[in-house]
Structure formats: C-alpha cells, structure tokens
Amino acid sequence: MGIVNITPDSFSDGGLYTSTDDAVLHAVRLIEEGADILDIGGESTRPGSVPVCVEEELRRVLPVVQALANNGTPISVDTSKPEVMCATIKAGATMINDINALRSPGALKIVADGGVTVCLVHMQGEPKYMQSDPQYKDVILEVKDFLQQRIDAVEAAGIVRERIVIDPGFGFGKALKHNLKLLRYLDQFTDMGMPILAGLSRKSMLREITGNKKGDLVSSSVSAALLAAINGARILRVHDVKATKDALKVYNAVTS
Ligand code: 8Y7
C-alpha cells in the first residue's frame, strides 16, 4: 500500500502544479513502483497534529480520488470523517482506512452501505496527545481486545468479515517499547482471522532506534516492513514502494 499524502496548496494561484496534480503524479509513480493499493489522505494524523474541517479535507482528497479511481489500482482513503468516507466511496474508493476504527457517529453505516473494505486501526487517545505518556499493562492483549470489540461492532453493522482488515497502529499512542513488542509478536494477531496491515514507514520509532533524521529513514523503514511481513502482515503501508518490494522479493525467493 503506497502512501499518498495531500498537503495544503502551497500556491493556488500561478504555481506550476496544484496539490491535486502533485498527489496524482506521485500516485502514478507509486503504481509504477509496484503498489497494489494507494492510501490517499488529506489530514495529517501524525502525533501532535491538529484536525482539519470536512470541507478542507474533501477539497484536498476528492479530486485525487476522482482522478485515480477505476484505473485498476484499488483506492483506500485515510479518513475518520463519515462525510469524507461517503463522498470518496461514491467517487470510487473501495477501502476506508480509519485510525479511529469507525467510531465516529455514522461511519459504520456508511461503510456498510458502501460495501467497501475497512482497515480498523488501534489508537490509544487522540493524535494531539497520544504520544504524551502511553500506558499499557499488556500491549498485545489490550490492542487485540480493542480490535476484537471493533470487529464485533463492525460485523453487527453488517460489514462482512471478508471486508475487514486489522492494524495494531504502530505509533498511535505507543512508546518505543510498545511498538517493538507489537512488531515482535505481530503473529499473535493472525488468530483473529483478518489480514493484518502494518504501518511503520518513516515513523518516529525508527528515528529513536537509528538516531537518524527524518530524511534518512528508508533502510530502517524497509527493515521494519520486512519484519512485519515475516511476522504475518499481509498489507504494508509504505512511502518507499520500490525499496519495500525489492526486500519482499528477496524474502519470497528465500521462502518459496
Ligand atoms: C498508519 C495509518 C498513518 C498506520 C494505518 C504516519 C493513516 C502516520 N499511520 N493507517 N495512517 N496504519 N492503517 O506516520 O500505521 O504515516 S499516518
């Protein structure tokens, strides 16, 4: 799964490219690099980030989904807002990637009625404060319990099992030790019976481990993605599609 982040327009008048053009060009490049799914997002959910309103998120995301939908590569939309889910599903998105796990009022029904896939992500707290002091007694058990509760709610709303993906939510209200434990024991999520998605790409835990700066996290991201795959992840949410595919080719060659 290749990440397409849409940033605010840096220049909406007179610039060569708008954020829409930039995002579409980037998406096409990720497809060429071998992405099987694109994850399109218009609101930063990084730790400490501040939410944007529905209108602004739609203004960023919808034209990009419209440009890319129905071209053969499935489109996932990274959003927690029911209005954004509804509009992008109508425009052809086939997956909703929700770090809030469809807890926003109305979200369950929109995804059920749309017949699309959902990725349920675990998060402790909310993006603004989630990294201040995350606490767990048993991180694996607590994340599994939360995901099982959300699976139950999602199934009760009429979303079939075949359309549910689970994600422990690396970095979402987790200290380094929690992230490491989740990655090490990721295979303990396989008995929940749903495909596991892992998002580790360029996350701050990799900065903590390597001591590297933001611009120097490709090798550590690929390593983490490969470990996640070995431990049972079926979908890898990454910025560096080509590098990650190369690592997976080596893994597949050795194991097949
Ligand atoms: C994840 C994610 C982000 C993740 C899923 C970042 C939107 C933060 N991380 N979605 N989104 N899983 N499913 O650093 O780990 O990319 S945003």
Strands 117-121 and 164-167: parallel
Is the minimum distance from the CB of 78 to ligand 1 under 6 angstroms? yes
Domain ranges for the chain, please list them. 2-255
Which of 60, 150, 174, 203 is flagged as catalytic? 203
The yes-or-no verdict on residue 10 having pLDDT over 90 is no
C-beta of residue 19 within 8 angstroms of C-beta of residue 6: yes
Extended beta strands in the chain, E state? 2-5, 38-41, 75-78, 95-98, 117-121, 164-167, 196-199, 233-237
Is the minimum distance from the CB of 154 to ligand 1 under 6 angstroms? no
Is the minimum distance from the CB of 26 to ligand 1 under 6 angstroms? no
Query: Candidates 99, 100, 189, 234: which one to mutate for ligand 1, based on the most atoms within 8 Å of Cβ?
Result: 99
CATH of domain 2-255: 3.20.20.20
Quick one: pLDDT band at residue 51, thresholds 50, 70, 90?
Answer: confident
Confidence at residue 145, expressed as pLDDT on a 0 to 100 scale: 98
Could you report the per-residue pLDDT of 143-170, keeping only the tens digit for each? 999 999 999 999 999 999 999 999 999 9
The yes-or-no verdict on residue 50 having pLDDT over 80 is no
Question: Catalytic: 203?
Answer: yes
Question: Catalytic: 60?
Answer: no
Quick one: pLDDT band at residue 229, thresholds 50, 70, 90?
Answer: very high
CA 204 to chain centre: 15
Quick one: pLDDT band at residue 45, thresholds 50, 70, 90?
Answer: confident
Is the minimum distance from the CB of 99 to ligand 1 under 6 angstroms? yes
Could you report the per-residue pLDDT of 94-143, keeping only the tens digit for each? 999 999 999 999 999 999 999 999 999 999 998 888 888 999 999 999 99
